[in-house]
Structures are given as structure tokens and as C-alpha cells.
Amino acid sequence: MEDKGINFVKTLNLPEVEEKCFERLVRLIGRLNLSHPLIFDVGANIGQSIDKFRGAWPDASIHCFEANPSVFQYLHTQYAAEKDLYFNPVALSERIGELSFFATRVAEVSSLLSPTQRMQNLSVEHKYDYEEITVPSETLDHYCETQHISRIDLLKIDVQGAELSVLKGAQGLLSAGAVSMIYLETTFADCYENQTLFTDLLVYLSQVGEGYELWDIAPFLYTGRDQLWAANSIFLSKSIAGELLK
């Protein structure tokens, strides 16, 4: 019987759309005169975002978080000599301790959430086949407290469906409006068990503290049946949005 769901064999990827969203982010930070932004890269993978951030802001300080041990080893080796980079081999979530982590065959789709069985069955390259391991977990609030960090200019999150858990672990910072901008990837297709939905993000971020405003959304990946699969979004704190609207 033919599967009437998502066609994972043929997808439409629009990297130019993703790039333009990042360019708009760069312009936003430029309007705030932040030449040395403090950036948190949650789900750093092998450093793709580090390269982008350093290209835009050579003097940025970047705190990197990558839970996959093998990927972290590559990341640290690749960038160890660079200044103002801080490496953390932990998962950020709403809990301090240890969590299950699903290290997939293709590392960039690894997650704190297990891929759905249907996703594994439909992925012809078996990229979602996984090994379940245990990794250390930290909250953003606790990390910033121990590092004496009171404000984050840019919080980038790419954690394959576990975005809400990361944000809940930063509730103190978000309630205080201490995170200026949030730049995150959201998955719309049914890829992971109990994954964060975009509506979950909208509700949570609109209600935490004074609230965060959705400033931009850029869909960049569609399934073979033209269903939205992934998009990048920019959320701004109320105070930052107010400054930019002056």
C-alpha cells in the first residue's frame, strides 16, 4: 500500500531563503549597534553557525552547546584555537542531570526526542536510525548563573523538536527580558515523538515575562508533496522590538 504521508525521497530545499533570513538577522543586530554580541549556539553540531556568526561579527563571544559526544569532539578540535569560543558538551533542556539522547546515523538530525517509527521507515537513507545514549543536561538559567552572565544578545536554537524544553530552562532569563533575540529552526513535519509545535513556541514566548514578538519566519524546506517541513524564525524581546520600531 502506498504511504500517503510525507515523501522524504524528494524534498524542496531553499537554502537561499534560509540565508536571507540570516542576513535579516545580521541587519537587525547592526541596527542595535552590537559589534561584540554575546551569542549562545544551542545545537552547534560541527560549527556551521559558528562560521556564519564569525563571518558577520568577528569579535563575537560564542557559547557553544553540543550534546552528541562524537560531534562535540570534532567541533572542539576544529575550533579550539579560536578566541572567545566556549565549548560545552551538554544538552540544554529544562532539567539539570542526565537525559536520553538519540544519536542518529546522520548527526545533524540527532535529538533529545526519538524519531518517529514512521520517519525511520520512510527515510530511504536510514538517516533517522539511532543509538540511544545518556548525556549530561543543563538549564540555560543555571549555566548563566554559574558563568555570571546576565544578558544574551542572540540565542540560536537548533535542537530538532526539543526547542520548548530549552526555552523552559531559560524561563528566568526570558521572564526578565534578558535574551534580546531568539533565532531558531522549527520542524513542522511529524519527525520526533512529542516534538515542539510552532504553536507551542508562539504561546510560550508570547506569555513569558513581557512576551516575545515573532519578527520573521522563513520556510526553507518542503516535502515532496509541498508540505512545510522546516522554517527559521526570529523572535525579539518587547524592548528590542520597541527600539527597532522607533
pLDDT of residue 11: 63
Kind of pairing between the strands at 152-157 and 130-138: unpaired
Residue found by looking up cell 522549527 in the block: 186
pLDDT of residue 16: 85
pLDDT of residue 19: 86
Under the phi-then-psi rule, with left for phi > 0, alpha for psi from -120 to 50, and beta for the rest, what region is 228? beta
pLDDT of residue 133: 98
C-alpha cell at 186: 522549527
The domain defined by 24-244 folds into: Rossmann fold (3.40.50)
The sign one gets for the Cα dihedral 38, 16, 186, 103 is negative
pLDDT of residue 1: 32
**pLDDT tens digits in sequence order for the chain, 246 residues long:** 334 444 544 466 777 888 888 899 999 999 988 889 999 999 999 999 999 999 999 999 999 999 999 999 999 999 999 999 999 999 999 999 999 999 999 999 999 999 999 888 877 778 899 999 999 999 999 999 999 999 999 999 999 999 999 999 999 999 999 999 999 998 888 889 999 999 999 999 999 999 999 999 998 888 877 888 889 999 999 999 999 988
pTM, two decimal places:
0.93
